[in-house]
Amino acid sequence: MSLPLLYQFVDWCKTKIISPQTQDKELPVADRLRNLPSEFTLRDLVGITERAFELKTSPYQKNADDAARQWFRSFNVYDGANLSKFLDLGKFDLFAALSFPNASQSHLETCLIFFLWAFSTDDLSDEGELQSKPEDVQASVDVSMEILHDPQAPVPDQPYAAMLHSILSRMRTTATPGTVARFSRAFEHWSQSQILQSRNRSIKRMPSVEEFIVMRRATIGGAMVEAMVEYSLDLQLPDYVFIDPIVVAMSEATTDIMTWPNDLCSFNKEQADGDFQNLVFVLMVERDLDLQGAVDTLTQMLSDRVDEYVELKKQLPSFGTEVDAELGKHHKNLEHFVQGTVLWYYLSPRYFRTLDVAERENLIIPIFPREL
């Protein structure tokens, strides 16, 4: 979701979180979704997105990874075994190299530590101790809000907020005030979506497809990603560019295109964890589809969304020679981010565990056993 819609979204989230009507839509998830087939087939999502998004990788992956690991260890958010599992199995260094291929080494380090912060924070709310505790997610967010807009704010005691403090400090050394402001507002947007998602989990509420798509643009952190792309190249983009309707529509499209493959690839992991906040499940419920039908429907939605992005790009207006050049870099590097992200979903064992995904076309995926 683009920045002009952030404040509308925050207000909408607050309404959803506090409204008693949300409980009227509680879904008996176990009754509707417990009987899954033994396997499903997934098309090559990388092949679908590569029609419009180019893949590239950074030469600074190893050096950035060494520095980022040292940074992450200093916050002591995981103990020995869990720390190794998070850092080694996540392949976040590869993710950053694929997502920010044109960043300098120092900027790539910051982009990588952004991933380490984002994924460790997301795991805390998705599958950790805050999974179904919206009030605790809100308390964690409140700590981070205190340092968001104040460059002189002291480093918080809470480690996740301390990591965010460090990321903001790094960004402020070279990024424009507009870039930092967009990142900060995007964090607020993402935080509200995390609270809402935790609320939905706590009452086992299944949103509509339309509602979930909007919320998912927030929970994936799409607006923060765009700000990080800006930072990665120290782009000089005026604020007015980001309220243009075509730029807004392109932003929403790229966010959907990197988000929907995540729901397809993470579905198996999430169903095993008993987590049903996934667009595959939402499609199953709203459209009365079986698992394969929902997977195929979402895959076709993805293909159609890629076509829509191509058409939107043709309609992009001119903002003048200098701005057009900077915006062109922004969109090209956002496209690199999208394609690198979709490929990383396959390469990271977060989603496919030990399954061989070298041949991605019509990949047969056995359903993981449900964790009790």
Tell me the pLDDT tens digit for each residue of 270-324. 999 888 889 999 999 999 999 999 999 999 999 999 999 999 999 999 999 999 9
pLDDT digits (tens, 9 = 90+) for 135-181: 655 666 777 788 888 889 999 988 999 999 999 999 999 999 999 99
Residues 6+ apart with CB under 8 A from 352: 265, 268, 346, 365
- Distance from C-alpha of 202 to C-alpha of 270, rounded to nearest angstrom: 15
pLDDT at site 168: 96
Residues 6+ apart with CB under 8 A from 324: 318
Residues 6+ apart with CB under 8 A from 92: 65, 68, 112, 115, 116, 119
Cβ(96)–Cβ(112) below 8 Å: yes
Burial class for 79, CB neighbours closer than 10 Å (0-12, 13-18, 19+): exposed
Cα 220 to chain centroid distance, Å, stands at 2
Domain 5-366 bears CATH identifier 3.90.1200.10: no
Residues 6+ apart with CB under 8 A from 215: 13, 193, 196, 197, 207
Sign of torsion over alpha carbons 242, 246, 252, 254: negative
Q: How many CB atoms lie within 10 A of CB 276?
A: 23
pLDDT at site 135: 63
21 has a pLDDT exceeding 60: no
Cβ(147)–Cβ(163) below 8 Å: no
**How high does pLDDT run on average in the chain?**
87
- Distance from C-alpha of 70 to C-alpha of 83, rounded to nearest angstrom: 12
pLDDT at site 31: 54
Long-range contact pairs involving 2-8 (C-beta distance under 8 Å, separation at least 24): 2/223, 2/242, 2/243, 2/247, 2/248, 2/251, 2/252, 3/182, 3/185, 3/186, 3/223, 3/242, 3/243, 4/242, 4/243, 4/248, 5/248, 6/185, 6/186, 6/188, 6/189, 6/223
268 has a pLDDT exceeding 70: yes
Sign of torsion over alpha carbons 195, 197, 198, 200: positive
pTM greater than the 0.85 cutoff: yes
pLDDT at site 34: 64
Question: Domain limits of the chain?
Answer: 5-366
Cβ(264)–Cβ(25) below 8 Å: no
pLDDT digits (tens, 9 = 90+) for 114-140: 999 999 987 765 444 444 455 655 666
Cα distances (Å, whole numbers) of residue 191 to 46, 146, 179, 200, 202: 29, 13, 18, 14, 17
What is the CA angle 127-43-315, rounded to 5? Answer: 95
Q: How many residues does the chain have?
A: 372
- Paired residues of 309 in beta bridges: none
pLDDT at site 189: 84
pLDDT band at 357 (very low <50, low <70, confident <90, very high): very high
Which of 44-53, 94-103, 190-199 shows the lowest per-residue confidence on average (mean pLDDT)?
190-199
